[in-house]
């Protein structure tokens, strides 16, 4: 069973990681980056490939892995 404090540590880790890598995201063409629990919504410039952003974000820390789902028929998968 997981300790009740684990989600708090995860939140602190993700906030710290987001704050450290804001400049990297901006330089990669990320226009909007919003996280809610374990989902992240990202708007990119047209010339940027989502898979390349995913690859870069996954390299920033060995404990994180990012995946993505592209819109289908102009709808996001939520």
Model confidence band, residue 5 (pLDDT cutoffs 50, 70, 90): very high
Q: Could you read off the pLDDT of 27-73 as tens digits, one per residue?
A: 788 888 888 877 888 888 877 788 888 888 888 888 888 888 877 88
Which is nearest to 34 in space by CA: 21, 23, 43? Answer: 43
Mean pLDDT of 10-34: 84
Answer for the pair 45, 29: CB distance below 8 angstroms, yes or no.
Answer: yes
Question: Would you say the pTM of this structure is higher than 0.85?
Answer: no
- On the 0-12 / 13-18 / 19+ scale of CB atoms within 10 A, 15 is exposed
Distance, CA of 13 to CA of 9 (rounded, Å):
6
């Amino acid at each position: 069973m997981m300790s009740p404090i684990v989600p708090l540590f995860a939140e602190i880790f993700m906030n710290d990681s987001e704050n450290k890598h804001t400049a990297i995201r901006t330089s990669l063409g990320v226009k909007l980056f919003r996280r809610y629990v374990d989902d992240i919504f990202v708007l990119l410039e047209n010339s940027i490939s989502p898979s390349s952003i995913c690859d870069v974000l996954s390299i920033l820390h060995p404990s994180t892995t990012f995946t993505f789902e592209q819109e289908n028929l102009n709808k996001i998968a939520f």
